[in-house]
Structure 1
Amino acid sequence: MPDCPALFIGASASHQGKTTVTAAIARHHARRGLKVRVFKTGPDFLDPMILERACGAPVYSLHLWMVGRDACRALLAQAAREADLILIEGVMGLFDGTPSSADLAAAFGVPVLAVIGTHGMAQTFGAIAFGLAHYREDLEFNGVLANRVASARHAQMLSEAIPQGLRYCGHLSNADDIALPERHLGLTQAAEVTGLDKRLDRAADAIASTTLAELPPIVHFEDAAPEAPSRLLDGLHIAIACDAAFSFIYPANIDLLASLGARISKFSPLANEAIPDNADALYLPGGYAELHAARLASNARTRDSIKQHSDNTKPVVAECGGMLYLLDTFTDIEGKRHQMLGALKGHATMQRRLARLAMQRVDTLHGPLTGHTFHYSTLETTMQPVLTASHATTGAAGEALYHQSSITATYMHAYWPSNPAAAAALFRGEPL
């Protein structure tokens, strides 16, 4: 049974600073020379980019529904065998969602640190901390951290408000200048944050003055290993668009393609790079294509190589922003209309209001494939869905999955390890 110090970083709600705190703890211990492995709860692409910079290793998703309990167990066991510290960042508030962050922490016995943003708050901090600590008896509660504290006097008031028997781990101050910038889908991508490493180092310096400077309790993880999938993509060469416009990629998805036998290469549409001539299949992931629509539309070398690839009926898998890139036209948030690649019939319009956010599954010929959707654009198209995803908890109709020529496209971001056979079918151009 692999043992490793571990801590689950939850919060009272979203926007309390979980990612900043997790990154700070990771960078602090990594600077001590420890090997730190960080996980993110649920579907997320942006937080893991920051956390990877903080700890120096890829950040994988854990979720009892999307990833699955057994797969989560295997990922944690592998990390425990290799690392000196495991950190898991939660999602939303500690008890929000089905399954919740608390469900994940309880399932694997990982003690919880609660982060509470304290702007406009004093003694109520103690009440919220007490409620988080005692809401569920099956949750091991490690302590509470006050974030965005205004002054030394404010910090004193917060610490004095903690009920007896509840561990106060300290505070982070507004003056530390460590908060991470955000945009419409969440945090700004790590590569676009000016001075990110200096910011992470300041955060680590701040953590050094709290009890979190020391390692958390040791957790005994159940030994487990993932099943090796059949090499269903043996010898297949898959090209993946990868840059600031196409960056929403689960590391586990790429690992799966490699374990299925595929050879992976990456190229940048933003840099006007062509798909490798010998690529058998193409993956256009989501990202911030909407922020780069004009440049993407004008990059003729990439456009022509994608057209040639699809004209040769080679498989294309396009998710969310990747699908927008292939449409006839796209209207950005300022109302400007752009001609896109024209490989798919339809027009998308960016809006300021969230269009859809949900965990979803699509039932394929190979069984269910899990994932999620999160987008601000709407789509008008004459294409008819070949499949329609369903909401994870309500069963309501979700995102459409379209197939035109050799292109499979959808707003849904699929977690391919949930169904390796379905993932292999996508890249072989076979019906789902």
Structure 2
Amino acid sequence: MRGFMIAADRSGSGKTTVTRALMLLLKNAGCTVVPYKAGPDYIDPMYHEQITGIRGHNLDTFFTDREKTRQLFARDFEDVPENSPVRDRIAVVEGVMGLYDGLGGFQPQGSSYDLASALQMPIVLCVNARGAAETLLASISGILSFDKADLIHGIFLNEVSDSFYPILARRIEDYTGIPVLGHLPKNDSLHVESRHLGLFMPGDQDSTTQNQLLLEEISKRCEAERLFNITEMNDIMYQKPRRRLHGLVKIAIACDEAFSFFYRENEMALADAGAKIVYFSPIHDKTIPEGACGLIFPGGYPERYAEQLAQNTSMLSSIRAAIKSGIPVLAECGGFMYLHDSIDGKGPLVGALEGDCINTGRSVRFGYLKAADKGHFFIRDGEEIRGHEFHYYDVKDPGADAIVKKAASGESRYEGFCNKNAFVSFMHFYYPSCPSFVAHFLDEALGYGRKVQKQL
């Protein structure tokens, strides 16, 4: 098994650009690149998929314990096209924030290093070298002193000129004994811009042209073989779970321009339990899929498409009728907003929940969460589902049926709407963190499907 993580000393060092560049380099060299993102970000994996042709995966040691994280990694590594030999596969993990920055900034849980340590994965340290020389050695030396497991196997220099690179690389290698694998010069045309919830989506920019330029730039400054040589890691064996339902339950997931923030791991958790997953577009389709026994509305940017969503009256009628009939529903953040009357006054939308979701112009909530519904419909007593929140929108009544706790501070509040067949909230859920959450949803969906069949 081969793989490595690209991590940095801090956010803004160019991890995403360097990750994309190295993925392009390896794919161009004939490797099957299996992409991963450390942490909860949704948009980076979309860029990874655009390059690799394989759905991006999110792993996080806050969301799941180490053994579960290892199993998810191994499962994802196997989930590639059948014609891809294992010997040609290489896992590439983009880190999050600074290498050692975890929960609350100072705890290891949730950090890039904690994930690499759990996987026993080599790390390539991405360092922004702009405007520094000898001081860079002090910074790198300090980072290496925290690497108790000796996982840092290579260094990559970002934003350093072609003329200064060989001098700086030689000095770093002489001082640290760690190979410097390559570099990129400063080039604003290679970067991805940001919006309030992170990077711009791949479709918002001419990513194809940018990727071509990035491949040209990295191919001149990094050898795929040198990179490949530091990527060997111990095999992690995947233990396939036993499916309970074997396709008896059809779960329809909203998926289009407005709803695209849904972890691949969530889909796999449903599929591993035996659900049959189908997709539908609240913007373009006329109705929900025939025979759907459960509905999932992920996050995304519904505010950008509120008018189109409101204009699709046949879809809205179909969703309203299904909810009225008791179909089980999960919704998070943008999907939660869609279930309300309107967004920024644009509607009517589904209207299952009262209120107009308004852009506050600032970050309302941000960070890791733990949650349980007060009635223990979805989550067994003593268990919790983990996830995160990051939204600028708010609504007058966000619900009060779930106990939501901030992971870093322990501060708790009530939020969301829950009953035995619905759990909807601003919170983004990570299903593998709570198997009982998935089991309850699918059990309710199975019961709903049988009820509908009896009525036919």
Q: TM-score, normalised by structure 2?
A: 0.84
The code of the aligned residue for 1:351 comes to T
Corresponding residue number in structure 2 for 1:127: 138
For residues 259-296 of structure 1, give each alpha carbon's deviation from its aligned partner in whole angstroms, at most 9, with x where no partner exists: 22222211111225321232111111001112212221
Kindly indicate whether the alpha-carbon contact (under 8 Å) linking 2:154 and 2:230 is maintained by their aligned counterparts in 1: no
1:271 equivalent to 2:280? Answer no
Kindly indicate whether the alpha-carbon contact (under 8 Å) linking 1:11 and 1:90 is maintained by their aligned counterparts in 2: yes
Aligned mate of 1:377, from 393, 402, 405: 393
For residues 311-337 of structure 1, give each alpha carbon's deviation from its aligned partner in whole angstroms, at most 9, with x where no partner exists: 111112111000001112322xxxx65
Kindly indicate whether the alpha-carbon contact (under 8 Å) linking 1:229 and 1:420 is maintained by their aligned counterparts in 2: no
Aligned mate of 2:201, from 189, 204, 207: 189
Instruction: Supply the distance in 2 between the matched residues of 1:174 and 1:70 (Cα, whole angstroms).
Output: 39
Instruction: Supply the distance in 1 between the matched residues of 2:8 and 2:39 (Cα, whole angstroms).
Output: 15
SS in structure 1 at match of 2:64? helix
The code of the aligned residue for 1:345 comes to E
Shift in Å at residue 48 of structure 1?
Answer: 0.5
Corresponding residue number in structure 2 for 1:258: 271
Instruction: Supply the distance in 2 between the matched residues of 1:325 and 1:282 (Cα, whole angstroms).
Output: 13
Instruction: Supply the distance in 2 between the matched residues of 1:287 and 1:63 (Cα, whole angstroms).
Output: 20
Corresponding residue number in structure 2 for 1:303: 316
For residues 9-64 of structure 1, give each alpha carbon's deviation from its aligned partner in whole angstroms, at most 9, with x where no partner exists: 00111122212211211121112221221211121211011111222212212222
SS in structure 2 at match of 1:380? coil
Shift in Å at residue 307 of structure 1?
Answer: 0.8
Corresponding residue number in structure 1 for 2:180: 168
Shift in Å at residue 228 of structure 1?
Answer: 0.9
Tell me: CA distance 1:226–1:237, structure 2 relative to 1, closer, same or farther (3 Å). Answer: same
Instruction: Supply the distance in 1 between the matched residues of 2:28 and 2:335 (Cα, whole angstroms).
Output: 37
The code of the aligned residue for 1:110 comes to M
Kindly indicate whether the alpha-carbon contact (under 8 Å) linking 1:66 and 1:370 is maintained by their aligned counterparts in 2: yes
Corresponding residue number in structure 1 for 2:81: none
1:52 equivalent to 2:63? Answer no
1:395 equivalent to 2:392? Answer no
Instruction: Supply the distance in 2 between the matched residues of 1:252 and 1:77 (Cα, whole angstroms).
Output: 12
Tell me: CA distance 1:278–1:393, structure 2 relative to 1, closer, same or farther (3 Å). Answer: same
1:354 equivalent to 2:351? Answer no
Kindly indicate whether the alpha-carbon contact (under 8 Å) linking 1:284 and 1:322 is maintained by their aligned counterparts in 2: yes
For residues 226-258 of structure 1, give each alpha carbon's deviation from its aligned partner in whole angstroms, at most 9, with x where no partner exists: 451541585111111101110011112112212
Corresponding residue number in structure 1 for 2:428: 413
Moved more, 96-105 or 74-83: 74-83
Instruction: Supply the distance in 1 between the matched residues of 2:40 and 2:416 (Cα, whole angstroms).
Output: 19
Aligned mate of 2:72, from 72, 75, 100: 75
How many residue pairs get matched?
A: 421
Corresponding residue number in structure 1 for 2:354: 345
List alignment gaps of at least 5 residues for structure 1.
none
Q: TM-score, normalised by structure 1?
A: 0.88
Corresponding residue number in structure 1 for 2:155: 144
Aligned mate of 1:108, from 102, 107, 119: 119
Instruction: Supply the distance in 2 between the matched residues of 1:379 and 1:121 (Cα, whole angstroms).
Output: 47
SS in structure 2 at match of 1:103? helix
Identity over aligned pairs, percent: 31
Moved more, 184-193 or 275-284: 184-193
